[in-house]
Amino acid sequence: MQTAGITQRPQALSAAGGSHYPVAVIGAGQAGLAISYHLTRLGIDHVVLERQRIGYEWRERRWDSFCLVTPNWQCQLPGWPYHGPDPDGFMGRDEIVAYVAGYAASFGAPVREDTDVTRLRRDPGGTFEIRTSRGDLTAGQVVVATGPYHRARLPRLGSRLPDGIASVHSSQYRSPAALPAGAVLVVGTGQSGGQIAEDLHLAGRQVHLATGSAPRVARRYRGRDVVAWLDEMGHYDRGVDEFEDADALRLRANHYVTGRDGGHDIDLRAFAREGMRLYGRLTGISGTRAGFAPDLARNLDGADAVSEGIKDSIDAFIAGRGIAAPAEARRPPVWQPDREPGELDLAASGISAVVWATGFRREYSWLELPVFDGRGYPVHTRGVTSCPGLYVLGLPWQYTWGSGRFCGVGRDAAHLAEHIRGGAGTGCCADVQVPAPAAAAAGTSAA
């Protein structure tokens, strides 16, 4: 079969009786679809294996009022930039699902939905063997594009909650009305925790919020969205190798902010002034009592310091470039804790539910290849692992700040597509004979 100048073997049956592909992509989120786009442009035969449906993560693991925290103009999947009427707005959950599904349809991504990969290993000859819920197949090269959010992380102390109190992970939260009537304890102040606390607060629920060390960022500063300033300053283009501690950077929590109602700050101090109860880190549950660390003030001050530091860098950029931008006065904190609350009586406070915004765990037990460090993180250099022909894609800070986002995953995907085109994997080298670069197909842009 000839495709865009790349000679490929017809799909053959493996010893296990399944199909063989030059390339298999595991996961059909934005990362898997981005690499599929580039492989399609290069004429490289491949299959994309998706455990659920396209857009499942956005459709089923986000709450009703969820929206992006980055402006729509940053939705720049390769060949599919945002083309709606509100580039400075923030797409809601259903719009995001439509954007991702439309992207897959725009170039006919070869996605097999409802296909759960349960095992990936490599035979002595270098061919990857893939076991799925719908049969086995083999591949010359494999891209693992399953993202970083696999299994909900629930603290063990959650098992100590008294009977009658609902326990809900952030991925299961849908709306205030879906929780039993009463006050709600939200644990965690990353992006999900901050936004869910606001969602409940705006609905008139009494919210108790256990804070963490996540940083925050202003929505707008000196006349523009802060994301626009950071983009112009090149922050989304800086490689992880420019920083001293890449490992710590990759594990850092995202800044909390929101795109809700046109976008605004999430200011926990303002919530407290309006009646939300704030605490330090949750440390334990005994009977009906929850205990907290005395670090509320430190958590609030730390988040503010990051936000102010970002403003400082924007000020320096404006001054250095001589940009005309309106001055903006810095405001003092609107609220300060007068004490460090160490305990909350769940029963006396009428707590009916706890929402755990405590993140996710990586789950790679199905990937039977020695490419992980001691924490279970896949070791790679810009997505290229030490196992020839095996790649990862879509991880936070895989190479830049934008790597796990709509704005940057396409660049990482293009980089890996060139590796794949070069036949770095032993198995793929036998499947794809690569012509001169000029012979590659131009592809179809849906922009």
Do strands 80-81 and 76-77 pair parallel, antiparallel, or not at all (unpaired)? antiparallel
pLDDT digits (tens, 9 = 90+) for 421-437: 987 444 433 333 323 22
Residue 12: its pLDDT value, please?
35
What share of the chain has pLDDT > 90, as a percent? Answer: 81
Q: DSSP letters along 319-330, please?
A: HHHT------PP
- Say if residue 16's pLDDT is above 90: no
Q: Which residue has the higher pLDDT, 5 or 395?
A: 395
Q: What is the pLDDT of residue 18?
A: 67
Residue 165 pLDDT greater than 80, yes or no: yes
Q: Per DSSP, what are the bridge partners of residue 131? A: 119, 136
Beta bridge partners of 385: 380
* Distance (Å, whole) CA 378 – CA 395: 10
Q: Locate tokens 């095992």: which residue?
A: 119
Q: What is the pLDDT of residues 337-383, one digit of tens each?
A: 999 999 999 999 999 999 999 999 889 999 999 999 988 889 999 99
What is the total residue count of the chain?
A: 447
Q: What is the pLDDT of residue 349?
A: 98
Q: What is the pLDDT of residue 250?
A: 74
Q: And the tokens for 80?
A: 């599919």
What is the per-residue pLDDT across 29-80, written as a single tens digit (0 to 9) for each? 999 999 999 999 999 999 999 999 999 999 999 999 999 999 999 999 999 9
Q: Extract the tokens encoding 234.
A: 């090149």
Average pLDDT over residues 297-320: 98
Q: Which long-range contacts (CB under 8 A, 24 or more apart) does 10-17 make?
A: 11/45, 14/127, 14/129, 14/136, 14/137, 14/138, 16/129, 16/136, 16/137, 16/138, 17/135, 17/136
Q: Assess whether pLDDT exceeds 60 at residue 439.
A: no
The pLDDT-based confidence of 445 (bands split at 50, 70, 90) is very low
- Structure confidence by residue, pLDDT tens digits, 101-160: 999 999 999 999 999 999 999 999 999 999 999 999 999 999 999 988 889 999 999 999
pLDDT of residue 446: 28
Tell me the pLDDT of the chain averaged across its residues: 90
In our burial notation (b when 16+ CB lie closer than 10 A, e otherwise), range 73-105 reads bbbbbbbbbbeeeeeebbbbbebbbebbbebbe
- Better-scored residue on pLDDT, 15 or 303: 303
Report the Cα–Cα distance between both ends of the chain, in Å, rounded.
Answer: 29
Angle between helices 409-421 and 30-41 (to 10 degrees): 40
